[in-house]
Amino acid sequence: MTRGKSGAPGFFTMGAPLLLTALLVLMFVTFSLLSLSSAREELRRGELLASRNQAYYTACNQAERVLDRLTHGEEPGTALEERGDTLRFRIPIDEEQSLSVTARRENGGYTVESWTVENN
């Protein structure tokens, strides 16, 4: 161990390793907090995407039930816009979007002409 003029250990033997250790710990803490923040954001996005997909497929199932009811001559349970052999109805997905379905009567059933998501 090298000693300075006063007889105390020098900076490079005591201070440098301690400073390097403190900087390494600070760096690891910073990276871990950044990783945690990134993981939370990805989880939030994944949950949002899952809920949107669930809402879309729920609306698709409802639209298929409406078409099935119409094919069997039952009340569809939703408002229809009819123009000749073509009908159109909308199923809400969420507050911002709805599923718009246009179908044409053919041979006792219905043929889907369009199946689109529209913004309200």
Mean of pLDDT values over 2-16? 63
Q: What is the mean pLDDT of the chain?
A: 89
**Burial of residue 59 (number of CB atoms within 10 Å: 0-12, 13-18, 19+):** buried
Q: What is the residue-wise DSSP string for the chain?
A: --B-TTSSBPHHHHHHHHHHHHHHHHHHHHHHHHHHHHHHHHHHHHHHHHHHHHHHHHHHHHHHHHHHHHHTT---SS--EEETTEEEEEEE-SSSEEEEEEEEEETTEEEEEEEEEEE-
pTM value?
0.71
Closest listed residue to residue 104, CA positions, set 86, 116, 88, 89: 86
pLDDT tens for each residue of 42-62: 999 999 999 999 999 999 999
pLDDT on residue 6 = 61
Is the model's pLDDT at 114 over the cut of 90?
yes
